Amino acid sequence: MNHDAYDDNYIRGILNNVKSIAMVGASPVNVRPSYFAFKYLAQRGYDMIPINPGHVGKSLLGKPFVAQLSDIGRPIDMIDIFRNSSHIMPVVEEALKLSPLPKVIWMQLGARDDAAAEKAEAAGIKVVMNRCPKIEYGRLSSEISWMGVNSRTLSSKRAPIPTQGMRLSLNRTSVGGGETAASDRAAKNKNELT
């Protein structure tokens, strides 16, 4: 596996298939990148679990903080590690003790540990390093193109309307369509004839 450059289909496959994501190092501080990513992924329909022993008892956007991976108590598809490279290995070792194993281990933008990646891959887990799932989701959906970012994707299909579950509103303000001076006159003429 080449971890310097990922094929879009590899990333697309992961983001299309995982449903639950445990975010190790999730922060409740709303200017931290982990907070942005957590909120964005939750809004895109992922089942998000914040992991941070320092905040147990509190919750992040309505999801209770969990101290460690083994406390989640249910299978999870992906672990998104928001820690520096030097803190990756212990998290991967903890993940390898889970049963069932997660399908994907994702290390955040700036984080990379090739030895940890090798261990996870040997157990059949897919690994992504030094990427942000929010940015990759935005890029592959071309939502991020609104910021002038090169999505590196092309499409000749009509883009989906950007809000989910949107329906045409019937609640519009009516203006005087049809009731023009000419139609008034026409109605008046008709009345006078009968």
Partner 1 sequence: MTDRHPGFSTLAVHAGAQPDPTTGARATPIYQTTSFVFNDADHAASLFGLQAFGNIYTRIGNPTNAVLEERVAALEGGTAALAVASGHAAQVVVFQQLLMPGDEIIAARKLYGGSINQFTHAFKSFGWNVAWADPDDVASFERAVTPHTKAIFIESIANPSGSITDIEAIAAVARKAGVPLIVDNTLATPYLIRPIDHGADIVVHSLTKFLGGHGNSLGGIIVDAGTFDWSKDNKYPMLSEPRPEYHGIKLQETFGNFAFAIACRVLGLRDLGPALSPFNAFMILTGIETLPLRMQKHCENAKAVAEFLSGHPKVAAVNYAGLASDKYNNLARKYAPKGAGAVFTFSLKDGYDAGVNLVSNLKLFSHLANVGDTRSLVIHPASTTHSQLDDAAKVKSGAAPDVVRLSIGIEDKEDLIADLEQALTA
Pair of tokens at residue 47: 């089942």
Task: Work out whether 132 is an interface residue with partner 1 (CB under 8 A).
Answer: yes
102-121 residues in contact with partner 1 (CB under 8 A) are 109-110
CA distance 36 to 26: 10
CB-nearer residue toward partner 1: 17 or 70? 17
User: Diameter of the chain by CA atoms?
Assistant: 94
CA distance 111 to 105: 12
Pick the binder of partner 1 from 45, 62, 146, 191 (CB under 8 A): 146
Task: Work out whether 143 is an interface residue with partner 1 (CB under 8 A).
Answer: yes
Spacing of C-alpha 37 from chain mean position: 7
Binding mask 2-31 for partner 1 (x = CB under 8 A): -----xxx--------------------xx
Shortest distance, position 71 Cβ to partner 1, whole Å: 28
Report the sign of the C-alpha dihedral through residues 12, 14, 19, 21, in that order: negative
25 neighbors 52 (Cβ within 8 angstroms): yes
Residues that bind partner 1 (CB under 8 A): 7-9, 30-31, 33, 35-36, 39-40, 109-110, 132, 135, 138, 142-152, 154-163
